[in-house]
Amino acid sequence: MIFEIKCDCLDLKQTLFCGQCFRFRELGEGEYDGFAGEKYVKLIQREDGIALCCDEEDKPFWEEYFDISLDYAVLLESFGKDGTLKAACTGRKIRVLKQQPFETLISFIISQNNNIKRITGIIDRLCRGFGEKIEAGYAFPKAEALAGLKEEDLSELRAGFRAKYIIDAANKVTGGETDLEKIRLMSDEEAREELKKIKGVGDKVADCVLLFGLYHTSAVPKDVWIKRVNAYYYPDGLPECVGRYAGIAQQYLFDYARTDLKDTVFKK
């Protein structure tokens, strides 16, 4: 089934390939497909939104995934009160996705000291090797499928030193030491400390899990680009106009810095 979804702020290419998710590909001009958890979707860019090609029962899932109910027009207008943020938001229609908690946890463990292209490859091999086969490809592995494995069992992923971290995360989730649904309900600070009990999860990965997988819109992952942005533009912190959506503002600044500013303000 095809569903037309109206949405004034959603550029699929920018949203799917800005380093927040790693399971989509471009099929052709304005056409994409990919997975979240165990679900598959095909997407087409429209002038006033997107077309969702999926089972009827999965339509609410994808509307939630793209956070269609959040009004970005209000958000971006507020961000525009700050000059740097206004520049970052101009020409960008990125939505912060509401991804699956476990998938987000594993994905951003893999992301550490890594680049987006190789992260995507490792996750693809992880799904092919350990995910359930579904019609269009492979689901993201459940924690149970990864728990109890040995590092060498993941050698085909070529994930390097991250393999042991993946296994520790799966073990803690299946063992109940890490309850992602409970962590979702905690404050940013409590949740961050709880996530950091997993090996290979530090402040940055924890904040990515909070923002992209547990929908803490106030969590701000401090990667190298955001550290540069903060040092140069915001030595005293992000402006008031971000409200409780600092994480979403961060995603615009992140993309702005690594695409538009990398050869100018932040060259070498």
Partner DNA sequence: ACCCAGGGTAACT
Partner DNA sequence: AGTTACCATGGG
Token pair of 137, please? 């490809």
Per the annotation, the verdict on 204 as an active-site residue is yes
Query: With binding defined as CB under 7 A, does residue 125 bind DNA?
Result: no
- Closest to DNA by CB, 108 or 140: 108
Total number of residues binding DNA (CB under 7 A)?
36
Query: With binding defined as CB under 7 A, does residue 237 bind DNA?
Result: no
- Closest to DNA by CB, 59 or 153: 153
Using CB under 7 A as the criterion, what x/- string covers residues 150-189 for binding DNA? -----x--xxxx----------------------------
What backbone torsions phi and psi does residue 236 show, to the nearest 5 degrees?
A: -105, 15
| SS3 label, residue 61 | helix
Contact stretch for DNA (CB under 7 A) within 42-50, 139-147, 235-243, 248-256: 248-256
Alpha carbons 95 and 262: distance in angstroms, whole number:
22
Contact 261, 253 (CB under 8 A): no
- Closest to DNA by CB, 39 or 204: 204
* Nearest residue to 50 (alpha-carbon basis) of 89, 3, 16: 3
Contact 150, 49 (CB under 8 A): no
Out of 238, 250, 256, 261, which residue is the one contacting DNA (CB under 7 A)?
250
- Closest to DNA by CB, 4 or 203: 203
Q: For the chain, give the number of residues.
A: 268
Q: Give CA separation, 133 vs 43, 54, 68, 137, 204, in Å.
A: 21, 17, 29, 6, 32
CB of 119 to DNA, least distance (A): 7
CB of 117 to DNA, least distance (A): 6
CB of 1 to DNA, least distance (A): 31
Maximum distance among all alpha carbons in the chain? Answer: 52
Using CB under 7 A as the criterion, what x/- string covers residues 189-228 for binding DNA? -------x--xxxxxxxx-x------------xxxxxx--
Query: With binding defined as CB under 7 A, does residue 264 bind DNA?
Result: no
Of 39, 142, 172, 204, the active-site residue reads 204
- Closest to DNA by CB, 69 or 115: 115
- Closest to DNA by CB, 15 or 82: 15
In sequence order, the 6+-apart residues with CB closer than 8 A to the CB of 219 are 188, 192, 207, 210, 211, 246, 247
Residues 99-118 that bind DNA (CB under 7 A): 111-118
In sequence order, the 6+-apart residues with CB closer than 8 A to the CB of 164 are 151, 199, 200
Query: With binding defined as CB under 7 A, does residue 149 bind DNA?
Result: no
In sequence order, the 6+-apart residues with CB closer than 8 A to the CB of 208 are 104, 108, 111, 221
| Residues contributing to the site for DNA (CB under 7 A) | 18-20, 111-118, 155, 158-161, 196, 199-206, 208, 221-226, 250-251, 254, 258
List residues with catalytic annotation. 204
